[in-house]
Each structure stands twice: as C-alpha cells, then as structure tokens.
Structure 1
C-alpha cells in the first residue's frame, strides 16, 4: 500500500463513492430506456444489477463517511468496521436481486420473447461498458492508495457489471439473429455470476469483522523491520488486524536484560517509528520483554 496521509486517503475514498453513485444513476436511466424499447430479459438483468449498484454505492457513501469519523469515547478503536458492515449489506441486496433474476430468466427461458430495437440495446451496453471501465480504473487507483474494503466491494460490483454488459451484447445479437432463448440463457448465467460475487464480498467483510490477520507478506515484513533494529534481540506474539483504513499491530519486543526502563522505552519508540514509516497511521502497541524471559519460555519464540 502506498504511504499517503489519512486526509488524502479520506479524500480519495469520498471521491470514489461520489463517482460510483453518479455512474450508477446515469446507467440506470440509460438501461431503463433500452429495456423498455427491447423487452430483453438480459437487459432487465443488467438494469436490476445497476439499480443495486446505485443502492450499494449510496450505502458505501454513508458507510465510508461514518468509517472516516475519528475515534470517540464510545468507539476507542474508530469506526472502520462500518465498511465491513456495508459490504454485508451490499451482499444481501445483490443476493436478493440475483434470486429474482433467476426466477425471471427461468420464466422467459420456457417462454422466449422476440427482441426488438436490438441496435439501441447494443449501443446502450457499449456506453455502459465505457463508463464502467473508466470508473473501475479510478476505483483501482483509490484501492491502491487506501486498501479500502468498501471501495473493493464497490469495484467488484462494477467488475460484474462490465462482464454482464459484455454478455448482454452477445445475448442481444444471438437472440435477435438466432434463437430467442439465448436472451434468458445469458440472464441465468449472469445471475449465477452475481451470486458468486456476493459470496466474495461476504468473505471479505466477515474477515474484517472477525479481525482476520494481515496477509503473511505483511507479517513477514513487520518481523523483518522489528528484527532489523540493531538493539532488538527478537520478537514474538505478533498480532495484527485492520479496521477500515487503520492497521493495528501488537507485538512483544525482546531486549537485553541489562537495559534501563528508559533505554528499553527509547528502543521501542524507534521500532515503532520504523513500522510507522512502512504503515503510516497504524496503531502500534509494543511490549518490552527481557530476552532471558524468552529463553525460559521457548513457546514465546516465533
């Protein structure tokens, strides 16, 4: 993750929520016009998907603003888990829409309807693809800078949208020039993919709510930074988690027994500064342990 200030992260996250909401509302209008003109069930599928994207983006907007609020007396660790809660809410809406779409697709599959005004539907889908791709590029930029769970979940919606829009173009062409059943068939496939995407969001959100450890790559980096200090004899009991934009790091630092309390505290501060250089804004708790204690308790060693 790039090292940028908390203020810049907050600005980027807010911009991403405004952009996704604007794009979703615009696409809803376009797709509604196309669906009314073509009576395509696959177009209705992507219209439903866009409606849920708009609702999810609005939820994200509210959740991100809440997650960025500073810690208070009732929430000492901040409000970062609002992002994960928003992700679960989005997954619920997405699952409901996918199930509704499955029922509609099955109904149209047994009673295929001819497609009319096919060029209009294709044109709207091309516009949707261009707008969605542009939004996803901006969202990825924000994710690279902030590692926001809420923006990741939102981008997953639009990644689904991108694939859905492309498949709808194929479905419209096949249904118009061939068998009308291609339209509901593609809608069934889209519904299945939407359900899979919802499951991915649930996994990500539950991981944050259950205080999942940071990736092994980050844990190894933290250990290397701590052990890289010339006065650090070792470390153990590393615990990490994330909540919104905030990373929490706790560890026991092994130091020479002969150090004074002030010397041990100074070294601990220096190690904390090294970690903050790599993880700006992280909440770090370091407990100093005499090295002989670890020798007496080998289970402490990592």
Structure 2
C-alpha cells in the first residue's frame, strides 16, 4: 500500500535527496493521517456515545488530536519548502522541526484533559453498554492504526524525518491504547467489572508519556543536537579520499532543517604543495560534497611542514604522551614557534565532552611528561570539545 500511494501521489519518489520530493512525501503522510484519523474519530465517537464509555470517547478524542497533528505536519512540510529570503538566509526548513514540537504540545494538552474526564468517571462510574458494533469499530481501529504506524515509519526512514518517526510512534501507541480500551469493554461484559474510567485514565497517561517523549525528540534538533554519525563519516571519507589531504579536524555541522545542512572543517595539506593548486582542489572537494551529500561545506586550508626533523620528532613524542593520558584525546594544528630555549609547542587538543573541562590538569600532565623525556619545551594548548 505504501509503495502504491507513493507511485500514485509522488513523482520521482525514489529521489529523496530532492527537497521537493521530500516535501511531497511529507505532505502525503500528513494528508493520509488527516483522513484516517478523522474517520477513526467519527467511528469511535459514535461507538463511545452509544456505549456510554469514557474510555472509548477518550480514545476517539486521541484520534482527533492525531488528525490535528497530521494537519500540523502537512503545514510544516509546506512551510519548510519556502525559499531563503533576506530575513532567513538559511531557508525555512526548520519549520518541520517546529511542526513536530507543536504536535507534541497538542498531545500533552489532550492528555491532560483526558486525565480530568477519566478521574471524574472513576469517582462517578456509569454502566457501559456492550455491543458487537462497538467491538467491531475498535478492532478495525487497531488494524488501521497498525498500518498507519508502519506507513509513517517507512516514510520517516525513507526521508529521515524525526516528525514522521514521532508520528509513527504515536500511531503505535494508539494501537496499544485502543487494545486496552477493547480489553476494558470485554472485561465489563464478561466479568461485570466496570473499569472504564481506569482504562480511560491509563490511555490518558499513555498519551502524556508519548507527548513528553516526542517533545524531547523534536526539541533536540532545535537546540542544536550532535550531527548524525553517518553524515559525519561520509563527509570525512569523501574529503580524505583525496590523496593530498593528510588529515582533517574541527568538523562543525550546522543543521537548519532537513536538506539545509552547512559545515566547515580544517584540511591538512603539505606546505610544500603549490598553494594555488591546493586552493583549486579544496574548491573541487567543496563542490563534490555539495553534489553527493547536499552539504554546503567550507574548508579551511592548514599547511603542514613535513620535512622538519625536530618538528616531526616532537609531534611523535606528543602523540605518544597524549595516547598514554587517554586514547580518546587527539591533537591537531601542531607547530613549533620560536627557537632555542624560547621554542613553544603550539597545538590544539580535542577533548571528549564527558571528560569535563579538565584543561589545566591535562596541560600539567603533558608538561610533566615532556620534562621526564628531557624535552623542556613550553606548551601553548587550545582545547576543543568533541563528541
């Protein structure tokens, strides 16, 4: 069904790197969610009113909130397509993240209201009327929501959308909550136990839990979360595939929304190479990264002296010292400044975030190790945080 819908409604649906195709897939998901959830809402509302069940009505309202969420998703993908302008030079792709956050807030609001109504039903219980129609509606709802979870999940993976991934999880949660409502109806009929209010409360709590998790997932990219490890690896692999690039460091990736990624890094090349040739090669690499990965990359050229014996020896010694302190540390931009007793070893040291800012202690350890190796050089270290 998913492939059929894609072929029917999205032209060139396999080309997910194209922002227009990506947006069309997102809008298809939103429109499908609106239609399915509205139908489910009407069916469950009718069943809930006929049965006098607050848990079924709660589940129906949950579907209505899902329809609202799908509408927000649809608008989010549409707004994210707007081109860059004078006030927003990096485009509007973050609208997709904002739409996901709005979806989460709507879920939380609905959850709070359902808690109130369910508690009221627990305090003042009313009998629930059982019918085959009610059971049939709930069973169909479970089947539809299961398909929707798989549908949104497949599209979310296809276009790498956190919004659709959250929508898929929400639909999966609905399968569980509707199954709980169905269980409550069966328990009331076969065992004459009225647990309708408790089931409604359980559904409401489940909705709140889902909303909180979705808030966490959608707010993270807005706050500036760590770049995708796969994308980092692809960028590094592509840049280092060029023979003259000796090493790279200080890779920074800025996410302005799906399909709007900007990055910068430092590339080390031999100082003996022709500067103009190096500049042309760097331009070529930047264009290559844009073409293959859709990342706007800026490369800073770091010339490295390769034929200085003393420098090479000290670089090797420092590498050994840093490896002994902690294998996760890494050095770059190493150079020797001055001469004689005034010589300084100047370099950057990348320190994992989980080590904390133990910068003074690390410098002391490095200086002490240099003295022990009878290399009384002064050090000037710039510390970089890294993942």
Separation (CA, whole Å) in 2 of partners of 1:95 and 1:216: 31
Separation (CA, whole Å) in 2 of partners of 1:133 and 1:273: 43
Give the CA RMSD over aligned residues.
2.4
2:141 corresponds to which residue?
128
Separation (CA, whole Å) in 2 of partners of 1:172 and 1:274: 60
Separation (CA, whole Å) in 1 of partners of 2:255 and 2:40: 34
Change (3 A) 1:168 1:234: same
Change (3 A) 1:16 1:261: farther
Question: Are the equivalent residues in 1 in contact too, given 2:248–2:268 (CA < 8 A)?
Answer: yes
1:250 aligns with 2:275: no
1:19 aligns with 2:32: yes
TM-score normalised by structure 2 residue count: 0.71
1:83 aligns with 2:96: yes
Which one is further off, 227-236 or 216-225?
A: 216-225
Question: Are the equivalent residues in 2 in contact too, given 1:115–1:180 (CA < 8 A)?
Answer: no
2:76 corresponds to which residue?
63
What is the total number of aligned residue pairs between the two structures? Answer: 301
For 1:52, which of 60, 65, 68 is the aligned residue?
65
Separation (CA, whole Å) in 1 of partners of 2:28 and 2:205: 31
1:298 aligns with 2:347: yes
1:158 aligns with 2:133: no
Q: Which runs of 4+ in 1 moved over 4 A?
A: none
Q: Compute the displacement of 1:182 (Å).
A: 2.2
1:263 corresponds to which residue?
277
Question: Are the equivalent residues in 2 in contact too, given 1:149–1:205 (CA < 8 A)?
Answer: yes
SS in structure 2 at match of 1:287 = strand
Question: Are the equivalent residues in 2 in contact too, given 1:31–1:124 (CA < 8 A)?
Answer: yes
Give 1:82-231 correspondences, 5 Å limit. Answer: 82-231=95-244
Q: Compute the displacement of 1:179 (Å).
A: 4.6
Change (3 A) 1:118 1:274: farther
1:39 corresponds to which residue?
52
Question: Are the equivalent residues in 2 in contact too, given 1:64–1:150 (CA < 8 A)?
Answer: no
Structure with greater helix share of residues: 1
Change (3 A) 1:260 1:164: same
Separation (CA, whole Å) in 2 of partners of 1:110 and 1:285: 64
Separation (CA, whole Å) in 2 of partners of 1:143 and 1:277: 23
Q: Compute the displacement of 1:291 (Å).
A: 2.7
SS in structure 2 at match of 1:231 = coil
Change (3 A) 1:162 1:277: farther
Q: Compute the displacement of 1:58 (Å).
A: 1.0
2:380 corresponds to which residue?
none
Which one is further off, 212-221 or 158-167?
A: 212-221
1:29 aligns with 2:66: no
Change (3 A) 1:262 1:168: farther
Separation (CA, whole Å) in 2 of partners of 1:261 and 1:14: 48
Change (3 A) 1:40 1:291: farther
Q: Compute the displacement of 1:29 (Å).
A: 1.2
SS in structure 1 at match of 2:334 = helix
- Unaligned stretches of 5+ residues in structure 1: none
- Unaligned stretches of 5+ residues in structure 2: 1-14, 306-331, 336-345, 351-385
Structure with greater strand share of residues: 2
TM-score normalised by structure 1 residue count: 0.90
Q: Compute the displacement of 1:269 (Å).
A: 3.7
Question: Are the equivalent residues in 1 in contact too, given 2:157–2:165 (CA < 8 A)?
Answer: no
